[in-house]
Structure 1
Amino acid sequence: MSRQLDYDCLDKIFEYLEEDKTTLHSCLLVNRLWREVSVGILWRNIWSFKYSNRVDVISQILSTLIACLPNGSKDLLFKNGIFIETPTYKPPLFNYASYCKVLSVHKIDQMIEYVLENHHIANSSKYLLLQEILKMFMMNQIKSLKSLDYYYSGGNPKRDYYIHFTGFPGAKEYLRNLSELYCSSNIYFKFFHEISQICCNIRTLTIRFKDIISNGLENLIFSQKKLKHLKLIQDPDGMCWSEIIPSLTNHSIKLTKLYLCSYSVNVPLSFIGKYFKTLQELVLSFKSEEAFLDNFDQLQYVTFPRLKVLKFLDECPRFEVLTNFLETNGKNLEELYVANNDNSLNLDIAKFCLNLKSLYTIFKEDEVETLRAILSNCQYLESIGVWCDGEYLNEKEFLENLAKYSSKYFNELRICYVYDGPSEIFPEELEEFFINWKNRIPRKPLSFIIKGCCVKSFENKKENLDVIEKYKRLGIIKKFEIEKFSEE
């Protein structure tokens, strides 16, 4: 007699598939129990769906939301000439909108615009359709929306284009426990004033700075009581965040993660050392080398006693300045990401950052001794990411040293390919590395990630993939992935 897995067991299994929307969608079709378990996980954040057929997926999501609309909304849309086919004329099996813990006004707006264009419906109908869908979310008896994504991509939004969804019935209860907000600085000012009154416990706040900073944004920031993570992104033509810095002083002790991204030259960083010395994570993504060279100097001698994670995603400070910073703060770092590097800085990493668990850095082809120094000195290192083509480190030498000198905790290897050439490593060399890894005592199973713009190194080298599969079966490799840079 066959036995079925119960609801709780299936729920735990499907949780691991949360990012794999395609597989979760397939689970809907197995039977009633699988459908009941998977539907909530699938729709929790439906906007993160990675689709291969843009038209089909966008149309399906939007038509399903329209099917969930109350009859009054459907009649209003029909009277205004908005008719989009739904999966069924009967009421849907589930109230799909009620499962959404993430609401992306921006994504819904994009979906509506895309579908209206494909149905040859006037774009002037967009705001009515968006209004009715948002109204449905607010009235859906959900008491705890987790995340709201709402930003305006244009210039100065006109008042007529702002949908006053915070005033819909049920909106205050729906938004009260919001913990994540993603917004742009140019949203109509009433939104910021209303959200400030409703939501005071936002923990993660992301602001994309456009060419306007609306009144009320400062008050929104100041009014938060539990803000832990702050991300400020300045668009190429956007204003700088200088204007809102006074409102950040209220969070000087509570803030643990700060992410700054800017294209501008005149970007202040001194406020970090003044107000946020208790940061645990600092991520800087600066597109202008000139701005970064001048501004990070202000932080080189500041002590951050709790700093565990430091990332420079694009331009880096001058190496002598970063050396001063690492000499002061390197001993506490557990994760370091440096996208632009030289041998002297790598030697400083080996000298000052002895407690690292994760490192992403760049080694040139003549820096094998420096790699060896880092692997030997950083005895808690669990993960490393390097580049291995062109002028950078040779794959064979890298793997040989990794197997010989890496710490007993090491378990994750990331190799990035910048160029589009073939892999220089041969199957027998790859196999030798895994044999050496197999014989390590103690040994941890490896996660092996290959990354690049056009990753032909392994995709088109069947013999290397065969070696990978062999050691996956033997349990030496825990996970193997090939990623594109564009997937980040």
Structure 2
Amino acid sequence: MACQLPADCLNEIIEYLEEERLTLHSCLLVNHIWCDISVRILWRNILNFKRYCKTRPLWVTTSILYTLIACLPNESKDVLYKNEIFIPALTSKPPLFNYAAFCKILSICRIREIVDKVLKKESSNNKVLVTNEVIKMFVNQIYSLKKLDYYYNQHNNNNNLINFSIAYFPGARDLIELRCSSNLPSNFFHQLSQMCHNLQSVTIDFRNNVSEELKELISLQNNLKNLTLSAFDYVSWTNIIPTLTKHSHTVTKLRLYSYNDNNLISFVSLFTNLQEFILSFNEETNFEDFKKLQHVKFSNLQCLKIPIQCPDPEYVMKFLEINGKNLKKFYTYENDKALSLSVANFCPNLKSLFIIFNNGEKDILKSIFNNCQYLESIKIWCGGSHLSEKEAFEVVANHSPKNFYELKIYYSSISEVSSEDLESFFINWKNRTSKKLLSLIIIREYYKCIKNMNIIKKYENLGVIKFEIKSYKEEEEEEEEVCNYFY
């Protein structure tokens, strides 16, 4: 039956399995057509473009690198041989496919990490040599590149030996997403600006002063939609702001990450078409610049996230008064009572919320549920000086809206909920008018034994809840609330 399906139909079907790696590997074994389609999807993002990802087993990383080396052209293999770099082949047979050509997402950082991990016994110079030859193969063979990740870490002396030139990289013309550091060689930005004018997403990690070539690249883009700026070690993005504001009418997602107070944010007032705004600064930031934003109307803003340090709650409350009606998501680590009440008053259309409640503030949570009738998901910090689990469970069971289905509990201390209170919560949820399955997610610093697992399993088996445990890091990565560009 599988052989009778046309290749284009198979391709449409197998595309849906992109995140199901084990299933895709099974598809490789069906027949030649299935294998040809599946291998292209598997290798499209083989280097894993996500900035945070679960660590792959060493054997997987080794297989990827050895396969890439097997695909190297003869001249590159000769270079490795002359430098006495001998890497055993996985098989005596030549590769079935030109795997490098299938890649549409290229991460220079990932290549370097894979080489360092697999060839850890090799000298630094040999690792750089292998990295350069693999990069050269990608540049020569990728025919349509969609995403590129290229960072330069000045603290690593080997970085200046990485040889990545795109002067003869026709595949880069299709590039739609670029992640880079500002201290890359200026000729890289110049070469890219000559061929690439359709970037939709740009992430810049500011490591030093911004070159004119980087400004030129940003200026020449026709439809920039997503913009992420990160600045650490007291580096500033100030002198690129005039270039960025040229795209103020097209950018809909803006993310600002900084560990210092040198970076202006008042320029955000020009980006009036924003749909998503993330503002992540460290605890020493005074946010005086946010004063200029509190009165600005962002008619399309649906997502506002302020992890780590929050501006003065009075500024945020005024901002919500003007912009809260259209918000679908609002996250902040602030635990100010007045700010929490303002969420209930100004954000009636929220679907997802994270805000911290102090112990005894269950009435505020109740007000939020009563006034935000579209709320589907909430994260609550429990334990210690924060809202108790018992209070949170009671309000969620009795006052959450009919479409509510996801409860995330952050633990700031050891769980204190009794087995009786937990089971009572599950029973109350089961008896609700709305029969939605509750997704209960426990978030804590490390994976630890969870109390009352027998009760949790009981109600999982009854189809009342779906249970999951996450670490703080996993949750922050998924929500893109933490941005760390150190390589």
TM-score normalised by structure 1 residue count: 0.88
Q: Does 1:354 align with 2:348?
A: yes
How far apart, in 2, do the equivalents of 1:471 and 1:37 lie? 41
Indicate yes or no: 2:187 matched with 1:190: yes
1:452 aligns with 2:444: yes
Deviation string 1:262-317 (CA, Å, 9 cap, x unpaired) is 011122111111x212211110110143332x221221111111111100011001
Equivalent runs, 1:74-223 vs 2, <5 Å: 74-118=77-121, 120=122, 122-140=123-141, 142-154=142-154, 161=161, 163-168=163-168, 171-172=169-170, 174-223=171-220
Contact kept? 1:315, 1:339, Cα under 8 Å: yes
Q: Which residue of 2 aligns with 1:325?
A: 319
Indicate the SS of the match to 2:463: coil
| Correspondence 1:443 to 2:449 | no
Q: What secondary structure does 2:470 align onto?
A: strand
| 1:259 and 2:251 matched | no
Q: CA deviation at 1:329?
A: 1.1
State the AA in 1 paired with 2:150: Y
Q: Which has the higher contact order (CA 8 A, sep 6+)?
A: 2
Residues 51, 57 of structure 1: 8 Å contact kept: no
Following superposition, the deviation at residue 334 of structure 1 comes to 1.0
Question: Which residue is 1:68 aligned to?
Answer: 71
Measure, in 1, the Cα distance between the counterparts of 2:351 and 2:40. 35
Tell me how far apart the structure 1 counterparts of residues 156 and 58 of structure 2 sit (CA, whole Å). 30
Change in Cα spacing, 1:5 to 1:209, as seen in structure 2 (3 Å) is: farther
The aligned counterpart of 1:470 is: 458
Q: Contact 1:357–1:383 at 8 Å: present in 2 too? A: yes
Aligned position for 1:286: 281
Are the equivalent residues in 1 in contact too, given 2:28–2:38 (CA < 8 A)? no
Counterpart CA distance in 1 for 2:339 and 2:183 is 40
In the other structure, the counterpart of 1:399 is 393
Cα distance in 1 for residues equivalent to 2:43 and 2:58: 19
**The residue matched to 2:295 in structure 1 has which SS?**
coil
2:131 touches 2:162 (CA, 8 Å); kept in 1? no
Report the Cα distance in structure 1 between the residues aligned to 2:469 and 2:10, rounded to whole angstroms: 30
Instruction: Give ranges in structure 1 of 5+ residues lacking alignment.
Output: none
Residue 483 of structure 1, aligned match among 466, 470, 473? 470
Runs of at least 5 residues in structure 2 that lack an aligned partner in the other structure: 478-487
Q: Deviations over 1:164-191 (max 9, x none)?
A: 43124xx12x111111100000000000
**1:56 equivalent in alignment to 2:59:** yes
SS class of match (2:120): helix
Aligned positions, number: 469
Q: CA deviation at 1:347?
A: 0.8
Q: Percent identical across equivalent pairs?
A: 45
2:231–2:259 Cα contact (<8 Å) kept: yes
Q: Deviations over 1:429-449 (max 9, x none)?
A: 323222222222233222222
Structure 1 residues 34-93: Cα deviation after superposition (integer angstroms, max 9, x where no partner): 755543333222233956565433322211110111222212221222222221132123
Distance, in Å, in 2 between the alignment partners of 1:159 and 1:436 is 58
Letter in 2 for 1:475: G
Q: What amino acid is the match of 2:41?
A: I
* CA contact 2:369–2:400 (8 Å) conserved in 1: yes
Equivalent-residue separation in structure 2 for 1:100 and 1:212 (angstroms): 32
Equivalent positions of 1:1-40 (< 5 A) are 12=13, 15-16=16-17, 18=19, 21=21, 23=22, 27=26, 36=36, 38-40=38-40
* Residues 11, 38 of structure 1: 8 Å contact kept: no
Contact 1:157 1:186 (C-alpha < 8 Å) held by counterparts: no
Whichever residue aligns with residue 63 of structure 1, its letter is Y
Query: Amino acid of the residue matched to residue 253 of structure 1?
Result: H
Q: Which moved more, 1:242-251 or 1:95-104?
A: 95-104
| SS of structure 2 residue aligned to 1:195 | helix
Amino acid at match of 2:252: T
Q: Quote the Cα distance in structure 1 between the aligned partners of 2:460 and 2:375.
A: 22
Kindly indicate whether the alpha-carbon contact (under 8 Å) linking 2:235 and 2:262 is maintained by their aligned counterparts in 1.
Answer: no
Amino acid at match of 1:468: I
Is the CA contact 1:24–1:42 (under 8 Å) kept in the aligned structure 2?
no
Q: What is the CA–CA distance in structure 2 between the aligned matches of 1:347 and 1:460, rounded to whole Å? A: 32
Gap change, CA 1:480 and 1:199, over 3 Å in 2: farther
Structure 1 residues 416 and 37, CA gap change in structure 2 (3 angstroms): farther
Deviation at 1:150, TM superposition (A): 0.4
Once residues 450 and 429 of structure 2 are traced to their aligned partners in structure 1, the CA distance between those partners, rounded to angstroms, is: 25
AA matched with 1:324: K
Are 1:346 and 1:370, in contact at CA under 8 Å, matched by a contact in 2? yes
Kindly provide the amino acid, as one letter, of the partner of residue 460 in structure 2.
Answer: K
CA displacement at 1:227 relative to structure 2:
0.6
Give, in angstroms, the shift of residue 9 of structure 1: 6.9
Q: SS state of the match for residue 402, structure 1?
A: helix
Q: Which moved more, 1:199-208 or 1:52-61?
A: 52-61
CA distance in 1, matches of 2:257, 2:212: 22
Residues 258 and 451 from structure 1, CA distance in 2 versus in 1: closer, same or farther, beyond 3 angstroms?
A: same
Corresponding residue number in structure 1 for 2:480? none
User: Residue 271 of structure 1 corresponds to which residue in structure 2?
Assistant: 267
- Equivalent position to 1:377, from 367, 371, 375: 371
Residue range with higher mean Cα deviation, 213-222 or 253-262: 213-222
- For the pair 1:231 / 2:198, whether they are aligned, the reply is no
After superposition, the Cα gap between the structure-2 partners of 1:244 and 1:320, relative to the gap in structure 1 and judged at 3 Å, is same
Shift of 1:31: 5.4
